[in-house]
Amino acid sequence: MNIDAIQNGIVIDHISAGKSLRLYELLGLETLDCSVAIIKNAHSEKLGKKDIIKIDADIPVNLDVIGYVDPGVSVNLIRDGVLVEKKTIDMPETLTNVIFCKNPRCICSTEQELKHVFKLTDRKNKVYRCLYCETKAN
């Protein structure tokens, strides 16, 4: 299989096997008008198997989404075919409008202008709770 190198863009690497499609959806990559490659179950010395997403465009990417879905992922910025920056992503302390409260009585569910804000309450178990009603995120 050949996946061309990108000249200017982003490579999201070391994604836990099977989580790339969730990242693709939450990052809204389906709306892009550029090449996006998803490589699933690639061999990895570190993880055994991993997923990779290559985006052939220099776009802003929501790092909070990546940290929520799979902390520990590497985000590589490529310019003129050269790696210029590598970031390891951790879990964000807060998430705003990334996930949405499932509680139909929560104020953020009834007030359209109110943002859906979740706070990290348990880092070990990756638990986020709604800022307003404390409902646990799925």
Q: Is residue 2 part of a domain?
A: no
Res 3 pLDDT > 70: no
Residues 28 and 50 both lie in one domain: yes
CATH of the domain at 40: 3.30.70.140
The β-bridge relationship of strands 127-130 and 94-96 is unpaired
Residues 51 and 104 both lie in one domain: no
The per-residue pLDDT for range 65-114, each reduced to its tens digit, is: 999 999 999 999 999 989 999 999 999 999 999 999 999 999 998 888 89
The count of domains in the chain is 2
The per-residue pLDDT for range 11-61, each reduced to its tens digit, is: 999 999 999 999 999 999 999 988 899 999 998 887 789 999 999 998 899
Distance of CA 57 to the CA centre of its chain: 17
Residues 61 and 108 both lie in one domain: no
In whole angstroms, what is the distance from residue 125 CA to residue 84 CA? Answer: 33
Q: Is residue 79 part of a domain?
A: yes
Structural domain containing residue 115: 94-130
Give the residues across from 96 on adjacent strands: 117
